[in-house]
Copies of this chain bind each other. A is one copy, B any other.
């Protein structure tokens, strides 16, 4: 997995959360706060897609070559089920 890329995405998201907490404390306009939360969620989505991509190219591939990929596939589908509305 490309740790550096993912860690940077998550550190950026963390920093933005600090900013949003400040916006709430400063009683900033609700819609602006809501938009900022959406921006953090977009970062988390990006990171999670990166993780799933790497997982499929790593662990899943290996498991399939060793003849037992179904369990890993079920794990991925279970995450998709939670993720997709």
Contact = CB atoms under 8 A, between A and B. Distances in A.
Interface of A: 1, 3, 6-7, 10-11, 13-14, 17-18, 20-21, 24-25, 27, 29-31, 33-35, 37-38, 40-41, 44-45, 47-49, 51-61, 64-65, 69-70, 73-77, 79-85
Nearest to A81: B49
A14 to B, nearest CB: 5
Secondary structure of the A contact surface, majority rule: helix
Identical subunits present: 4
Contacts of A79: 31, 34-35, 38
A76 to B, nearest CB: 7
A7 B18 CA distance: 10
